[in-house]
A and B are shown apart, each in its own frame.
Chain A
């Protein structure tokens, strides 16, 4: 290997380490026995996980976060898939502009979105409710689902749909029997990303969650402003592990898809 290439690869290696270390460093620290997070920990223990599991407040917040993440991911996937299908169907300029609207939730700075949703909910009485939390996270998850499903639909040959309909199947059945199985990996990716986005969402939750419906991230954020409690290291580890799992599931679903395409070609 030439020296210039060696330097380049070395630099990239260091940058990647810098990228990954802060993500995984919380894991060993969460198993520390000490109150102060030093590295390496003086000795290992699971006391912070026990503290987390024993705390009714943390458990309630976890239940709220998981419920809202599952519900909003499912709803965002249904609405987002329908929207992406329609966007793919139409070539008109007006519809293209509507697509920009659907991307707005990721473009608008999150604090402004949070303030906006807060104003609406204060007027319609949805503050500190599960319905309110789910609706807000459906909106925030939509861009991920629409993007992912659109990519899937563009790879799909529309002639297949035409054949199925000319053979007498109606549109709805065609969608479920012919289209959906082929774009399934992109729909699943969208669903998983919407789930993670809702589970990790913090800023909107700071404004609209509260009382019985306080999310895990809101509780963590508030706790962090006061002091560095190692219980948060344990919760962070669990959240990171969930993210890793989801990314792996997405990769797996994409891989199965590719494998299937290859198998079809061979047949």
Chain B
């Protein structure tokens, strides 16, 4: 490529390269900006508006209205319980998958990835069938003579927590597995050859090295649980009221855009804040599994 011009060819090349990069990025960015960034800015603007003027009334409700802070409290509680539950369940699964033979670990990962790609709606529906009064769980317990009366497992917070934990478990297993897979087996061997008991080596060597995976999974599951909608709507039976449902009710039933906007803004700030904090320790791309 002989460029015979007065301008330094490398500068020209650099500029052309940058223009190409922008042109290739533009269509994807335009879609995200038009359908996501613009409406988010609009929602933020709406949250300060009422009857054509500036107002803080939509935010004042977070202090004055019981329903608001109780909904946020319940949402954070459910997200917390779900995150702890997925971590406790996912850690041994990822551990065994990372230390098993190649064939075995593929089998375990397949059993994690298949549910991951099954519709959230379908999985919520399955839990509805399993947990209802005359559902599989109750008839199994009854058949074993363990209960006299059917347990109330659905239409409450318990049902929501069980199904949400099930749906989000793969989001915990996969980052954990990715982190554990990078831990060299030699290191564990070195630890035990230096006289450490298996438990000691696990606590002092393996666990600390798996912490980046723990953090990535925890952040991902917690944030996703905060925004869960379909599952609490179907399994909560109206008694479990999460922030997403508060947003949807304010629009579908009351057309209260100001209220829906302020709730959305607060929820978004929570989500972004959590990602920001986590990205101080591990890069954002790693949380999203792009690296």
A-B pairs under 8 A by CB, number: 234
Question: Which residues from chain B contact A29 at a C-beta distance below 8 Å?
Answer: 129
12 contacts between A and B (CB under 8 A): A12-B93, A15-B89, A18-B166, A26-B122, A26-B126, A82-B28, A102-B28, A104-B36, A109-B267, A120-B39, A151-B290, A247-B117
Question: Quick one: which of B15-43 are within 8 Å of A by CB?
Answer: 17-18, 20-22, 24-25, 27-29, 31-40, 42-43
Given A11-B92, A12-B96: A89 in contact with B21 (beta carbons within 8 A): yes
Total B residues in contact with A, Cβ cutoff 8 Å: 79
Question: Quick one: which of B107-130 are within 8 Å of A by CB?
Answer: 108, 110-115, 117-123, 125-130
Given A16-B111, A112-B267: A89 in contact with B244 (beta carbons within 8 A): no
Most chain B CB inside 10 Å of its own CB: which residue of A23, A111, A113: A111
**B42 close to A26 (CB less than 8 A):** no
CB of B288 within 8 Å of the partner chain: yes
**A25 close to B129 (CB less than 8 A):** yes
**B122 close to A228 (CB less than 8 A):** no
**B264 close to A39 (CB less than 8 A):** no
CB of B234 within 8 Å of the partner chain: yes
Question: Which residues from chain A contact B267 at a C-beta distance below 8 Å?
Answer: 109, 112
CB of A259 within 8 Å of the partner chain: no
CB of A68 within 8 Å of the partner chain: no
Question: Quick one: which of B255-291 are within 8 Å of A by CB?
Answer: 260, 264, 267-268, 271-272, 275, 284-285, 288-290
Given A11-B92, A111-B248, A203-B230: A39 in contact with B31 (beta carbons within 8 A): no
CA distance A136 to B36 in the complex (A): 9
CB of A86 within 8 Å of the partner chain: yes
Q: Which of A100, A135, A232 contacts B35 (CB 8 A)?
A: A135
Most chain B CB inside 10 Å of its own CB: which residue of A85, A90, A100, A108: A108
Query: What 16 additional pairs, Cβ within 8 angstroms, besides A115-B39, A224-B128?
Result: A38-B139, A86-B20, A98-B29, A104-B32, A108-B40, A111-B229, A112-B227, A115-B251, A115-B264, A150-B290, A200-B119, A224-B234, A239-B122, A243-B114, A244-B118, A247-B117
Q: Chain A residue with minimal CB distance to B38?
A: A120
CB of A210 within 8 Å of the partner chain: no
A208 CB → nearest B CB, Å: 10
CA distance A104 to B96 in the complex (A): 33
Q: Chain B residue with minimal CB distance to A197?
A: B117
B178 CB → nearest A CB, Å: 12
Question: Quick one: which of A68-83 are within 8 Å of B by CB?
Answer: 79-80, 82-83
**B129 close to A26 (CB less than 8 A):** yes
Given A104-B36, A111-B247: A135 in contact with B31 (beta carbons within 8 A): yes
Question: Which residues from chain B contact A236 at a C-beta distance below 8 Å?
Answer: 119, 122, 125-126
Question: Quick one: which of A1-56 are within 8 Å of B by CB?
Answer: 8-9, 11-12, 15-16, 18-20, 22-23, 25-26, 29, 36-39
Given A18-B166, A38-B139, A107-B223: A116 in contact with B36 (beta carbons within 8 A): yes
Question: Which residues from chain B contact A115 at a C-beta distance below 8 Å?
Answer: 39, 43, 247-248, 251, 260, 264
Question: Which residues from chain A contact B229 at a C-beta distance below 8 Å?
Answer: 109-111, 203
